[in-house]
Structure 1
Amino acid sequence: MSFLKKYHSIILTLVSVVLYFLFAYTTQRTEFNQLLFLWIGLFACYVGLLKNKQSSFAYLAGIAVLFRLIFFFALPNLSQDFYRFIWDGRMILEGLNPYLSLPETFIEQHDYPIPQAKDLYAGMGTLNGSHYTNYPPMNQLCFFIAAVFAKNSIIGSVVVMRTIIILADIGILYFGKKLLKRLQLPVKNIFIYILNPFVIIELTGNLHFESVMLFFLVFALYKLHQQQWFLAGVLLACSVSVKLIPLLFLPLFFQWFVKNDASVFKGFQKLAFFYITIIATVVLLFLPFYAPELIVNYTNSVGLWFRNFEFNASFYYVAREIGYLFRGYNEIAIIGKIIPILTSCFLLILTFFRKNKSLKQLLVSMLFALSFYYFLTTTMHPWYIATLLILSVFTRYRYAVLWSFVVILSYQAYANAPWKEHLWLVALEYIVVYSYFTWEVFIKNKTHSKN
């Protein structure tokens, strides 16, 4: 027992290394039982590493990088989106605008504009290849960099993109620690995100660029706390230009600028310039891709997430069943339009009726705003949870950590041929999440407030 206690962290690290290797190089998403076994084992090690108070910050940071490097030469095994990333990057390298064409059009015409075009199209699938790209310009820059260094190799492109994502996570570690210090919170909280197996597997392993988006977001929040609002605006715009989701947070900055300034007029002035900075930066980043068709193609592609796609949803699935019961068909076209309206109303409530004057308060509002949207959305891919995780690091709420664990249940859908969700597993996932959310936010929080 004394041996286990003395070498607790080293043993958990070695077990994690083995499990990550098995996950990266021997597991497919269709093998749900193996997937589940490795996932549970990795989370058990993760919890053990976090609870061990003897581990130094440097040790935890080191193994966080080590775990990511295990995936370095592995092809993503839980997602095929990376094939489209490579396609877009190589299109830019060839001087073609990825927002203006469909991969399937080239394939149908036997016109192969980039190296390995047929392999990339087969990898991304007909669904992805039949839609215009919805990845913003900073994301496209990452794809382009991969094309520059590996225009003829799929695994080479994967290695370049994975390097970018790992560097982004190191940046999150660096600025996250600095922000935690400024907020007078334990700096080791950052490992709730950095060491989380979900983050390592979904982002580093499967090349989802939430890491890059969150690097810019955390950097922006750090600069905002330093009162450097112009630079914060530019960084936030870069975050939006990787993934659009930070746009959701923009109304929440109202109190930070207006109520924290001695002059209400000056506060409004700063807020206006902050918004103008963000909008202008985003527009500038899109300019190299501008064409008359760009706006139509891009908005239609983004709109598909509200009108057509369904995956791992919660309240939406309940609403869908009610629609089937009373109308006899899927109401996604109607429900998809209601979700943005409800989200906007909730955002307005948080903006004007909840205190957001301090950065701590603002971060909690951001966490609740995004949670509300994800609870309602028609499509809840697992990697979306990464943003909730990083926000929770700066709060006392941990329901996102639990969600990052139970979200593995959604992958059972890929074990079926053809692909099909088991709704009882989806229900189990959300029963666990909502139960803990209710306890933590409404019961535990109320007790905490009394004390």
Structure 2
Amino acid sequence: MTNKHALLVIFLSAITYYLFGYTTPRTDFNKVFTYYSLLFIGFGLLYKFSNLSIKWLIVGGILFRLVILLAIPNLSDDFYRFLWDGRALLNGINPYLILPKNNPELISNGIELYKGMGSMNGSHFTCYPPLNQFAFSIPAIISENGIFISTIVMRLTLIIADIISLYFGLKILDNLNIDKRKILLYFINPFIIIEITGNLHYEGMMIAFLSASIYYLLQNKNHLSASLWACSVSIKLIPLLFIPLLYKKLGFKNLFIYGAIVLGINVILFTPFLSQDLVNNFMSSIELYFQNFEFNASIYYVVREIGFWIKGYNIIGLVGKTTPFIIIGITILISLFRKNNQTETLLTSMLFLIISYYLLASVVHPWYIAIPLFLCIFTNYTFPVLWSFTIILSYSAYKNHNYKENLWLVFLEYVIVFVYFVFEAYKTKTNAETKHSKLPY
């Protein structure tokens, strides 16, 4: 593809981002799917066939984000809760202790924010860690009343987070002698631009801290790495899952110190919010998430159907209590039996672990895929890139206000990804065996 054609693709993609961000409600699934597919075609053309330098494609990625800078998120209403928590914190109210449902008038525009987030979101206590709460308060500092200005501020912080992930992602790729162009699988991926920049999900900020942490881990700056890892955990809890995988790379003593730093920093960050009800409220929201909510699941839906056949009712409560122990078991096995002292293997282990977690989960919102997508660029696997496209099928649930999932589309989403994963696993194994057979003895 010539540079002129590549620039035309960037221009047409920018127009499509505009149409997606400003004119497409999530209830119009046909429109959502059509624009998303067009954006992925453009993404594929730019990544696979463009002769433009990586710098120009990065500029294109920034342009795409700026196109939707002024848009109100159209696929998710979570940002209303983010604004609620941030304004509560700025007004000296502990966000872990109040329910928007019971206290809509406590903060500026509180009633409007509660209506925006919906009764389900507003009827449970917040489950976002402290550093995320501080990030939520940034828009409130700039604009305590307006929603439009606040969303712009949130979006700018998340664009900065993506640029940080880009910076450290390039450094990690350079450290591993992997083609730097692979960072584009994340940075110009329509999924990231729409879910992080567009829909204002803070997985992007979590990944920014985690990318920096991984880079400094490779530089053997363990204390700095642990501090940044702690910040990542304090945005979203999910990076806690990966810490045991560092056992073979760090050794038991250094892993203990590393974990202690992560835990200690998070305790300090929680300190301003401490109260008798904090733990109960925070844990009740997490328990509610694991044992009550269902969306876009895979293995869980199969288990649920088996439960209906055997028990005659939804066994989500039992599955929710059992799944954490299965994940712990998988984590221990991957930590002990894979060669995680090697960086490439460690990053692949992180990818496998998070994928295992999501396959067993009862809730897999689209934006969750951001972290396996980022991790895969440092491995031999690209199936999360395919998943970042098929995940759009989950939005078919929003075609009506009953949020009824089309399980055939969910099935299609996962079958496509699973078949491609099997293909990649076989290919990786074959390549490894071929490489081993050519070694001199």
What TM-score, normalized to structure 2?
0.97
Q: Is the 8 A contact 2:246 2:346 kept in 1?
A: yes
Query: Is it true that 1:447 corresponds to 2:440 in the alignment?
Result: no
- 8 Å contact from structure 2 (residues 2, 50) kept in 1: no
Alpha-carbon displacement from aligned partner over 1:345-397 (angstroms, at most 9, x marks no partner):
11111000111012211100000000000011000000000000000011110
Note if 1:393 corresponds to 2:377.
yes
- The ranges of structure 1 where at least 4 consecutive aligned residues each deviate by more than 2 angstroms after the TM superposition are none
Question: Aligned ranges for residues 21-420 of structure 1 at < 5 Å?
Answer: 21-107=18-104, 112-258=105-251, 268-420=252-404
CA shift at 1:421, angstroms?
0.3
Amino acid at match of 1:235: L
Name the aligned partner's letter for residue 173 of structure 2.
L
Q: Aligned partners of 2:3, 2:135: CA distance in 1, in Å?
A: 43
Give how far 1:61 is off.
1.1
Q: What SS is found at the alignment partner of 1:396?
A: coil
Distance 1:72 1:403 in 2: 25
- 1-side partners of 2:43 and 2:27: how far apart? 24
Alpha-carbon deviation of 1:106?
1.2
What is the CA–CA distance in structure 1 between the aligned matches of 2:179 and 2:428, rounded to whole Å? 19
Q: Distance in 1 between matches of 2:280 and 2:15?
A: 47
Counterpart of 1:262 in structure 2 is none
- The aligned amino acid for 2:264 is A
Cα distance between partner residues in 1 of 2:25 and 2:378: 34
Distance 1:182 1:6 in 2: 29
Residue pair 2:294, 2:363 contacting (<8 A) in 1 also: yes
Equivalences for residues 3-18 of structure 1 within 5 A: 5-18=2-15
Q: AA paired with 2:28? A: E
Q: CA deviation at 1:269?
A: 2.2
> Retained in 1: the 8 A contact 2:2–2:51?
no
Is the 8 Å Cα contact of residues 6 and 50 (structure 2) preserved in structure 1?
Answer: no
What is the CA deviation profile of residues 56-89 of structure 1, one whole-angstrom value per residue up to 9, with x for unaligned ones?
Answer: 1210111111100111110000000000000001
Counterpart-to-counterpart distance in 2, 1:47 and 1:131: 40
Is the 8 Å Cα contact of residues 380 and 428 (structure 2) preserved in structure 1?
no
The residue type equivalent to 2:66 in the other structure is L
Q: Structure 1 residue 417: deviation in Å?
A: 3.6
In the alignment, the residues of structure 2 paired with residue 6 and residue 436 of structure 1 have an alpha-carbon distance, to the nearest angstrom, of 31
SS at match of 2:128: coil
Output the CA distance in 2 between the equivalents of 1:281 and 1:299.
19
Deviations, residues 167-204 of structure 1 (Å, cap 9, x unaligned): 00011111111111011111111110000000000110
CA distance in 2 between partners of 1:76 and 1:60 (Å): 25
Cross-structure match for 2:439: none
CA–CA distance in structure 2, aligned partners of residues 53 and 90 of structure 1: 44
Query: CA offsets per residue over residues 269-317 of structure 1, 9 Å max, x none?
Result: 2221111111001111111111111011001111112100000000100
More displaced 10-residue stretch of structure 1: 414-423 or 33-42: 414-423
**Aligned residues: percent identity?**
46
1:6: how far off? 4.5
Distance of 2:410 and 2:240 partners within structure 1: 28
Partners of 2:3 and 2:50 within 8 A in 1: no
SS of the residue 1:199 aligns to: helix
Q: 2:393·2:413 contact (CA, 8 Å) conserved in 1? A: yes
Matched to 2:47, the amino acid is L
